[in-house]
Amino acid sequence: MAAKGNVLVIDDVPARAEALARTVSAAGYATTVVTDVNGAHINLGTDSEFDAVLCELELRGVSWKEARRVLREMDAQVPAIMFSDELDAQRMMTALHLGASDFFVRPVEDVDALVKSIERCVRQRDLRRELRESRQRLEAANNELRATVKVLEQDQQAGRQVQLRMLPATPLVLEDYVLSHTVIPSLYLSGDFTDYFTVGDNFVTFFMADVSGHGSSSAFTTVLLKNLFARKRSDYLRLRDDTVLSPVAMLKHANKELLGLAVGKFATMVVGLLDTDKNTLRYSIAGHLPQPVLVSHSGARYLRGEGSAVGITEDALYEEHLIDLPGSFMLALFSDGILEILPPKNLIEKEKYFLEVFEQTSESPEQLATRLGLDRVETAPDDIAALFISKRG
């Protein structure tokens, strides 16, 4: 039968030590007896083999003041029970200062009480071991988690660099027209994306997309949208397929591709076609907020439009609008992350405030971004993307 635990008996009177050891052994514990405490090398630290120490208080040649210092340096973890021939306050205080779990006066008349005290010491020792092992496991898990997070951060940073390279040149100057953008991710990767490119001699196709969620899966969805528009531009150049010139047609294709992806992602979008020859804008909106803002000498206004987000339902319907643009204007598109950093509390007040900022600051995209606080955003609560299209008369 396995021993209930390992007990160390310390007493410089051999006969007394052996008698106590026999009592402890009879209770089912393995015992080790030390009679020369000054000559023995005893380990009572965390990795000690002992579960309890039964120690005589009146040991010859032992300074308990010095012993306390040694025990602190050793980081003693083994519970101790102290013994004495006399019961007085001074001896009990000495035992208490040494960290004793219990104190007995010889002769020990209540052996059951001693055995129960040893049992408590063993349980305490077991709990300390379990706590230490739990801490070690937790530390190992934390180290592994930190290493995993570091790898993920490196992957995210690499993905961020790839995503930045996917963005169009900024600014893009086309005679009187200037297109520019900015993207502020809430993490490393962004689910908000914008793109613009020339098609033929006098068209510019552009879009703003706000993909649901955050992180890698949302960023990958922006790659799909980027690829879709690039393919349709290539189809126009090679096959004279004019799908890329139709905002509604592009939204339908985006809707089909996101549904086909089957990962539960959807996106609000604005797709536009700028005709630099006629100075007109053809656009469609797919559930996107805030709606595009057109700023001119006559003030600032939202470009209205309805339609559900892409990637939700197969039978989604989209409207297409055609407007003549002013001789001088600025068109601004934002993802809804901009609404998170605006001062007002509710959506209606935020949209009103948003429009007021445009009316008060319309000299340049840079001034507008400063007024909205984009230059002061370090960690966005949500991804923020902005696209500006300007024409100076």
Last-in-domain residue among 113, 135, 157: 135
* End position of a domain, from candidates 90, 114, 135: 135
What is the domain count for the chain? 2
Residue 283 lies in a domain: yes
Shared domain for 127 and 193, answered yes or no, is no
Label residue 54 by pLDDT band (50, 70, 90): very high
Nearest to 314 by CA among 275, 260, 354: 260
Asked whether residue 99 is domain-assigned, the answer is yes
Give the end of a domain, one of 92, 114, 135. Answer: 135
CATH number, residue 344? 3.60.40.10
Residue 187: the pLDDT is 66
Peptide bond into 344 cis (omega under 30): no
Please write the tens of the pLDDT for every residue from 125-159. 999 889 989 999 999 999 998 888 888 777 767 76
Q: Give the mean pLDDT of 313-331.
A: 94
pLDDT digits (tens, 9 = 90+) for 221-274: 888 999 999 999 999 999 999 999 999 999 999 999 999 988 788 999 999 999
Closest CA to 24 of 44, 7, 40: 7
Task: Give strand ranges (E) for 85-138.
Answer: 102-105
Domain membership flag for residue 333: yes
In terms of residue numbers, what domain contains 343? 167-391
Pair 269, 366 in one domain: yes
pTM, two decimal places: 0.65
Burial of 303 (0-12, 13-18, 19+ CB in 10 A): middle
- Of 305, 306, 290, 275, which is closest to residue 351 (Cα–Cα)? 290
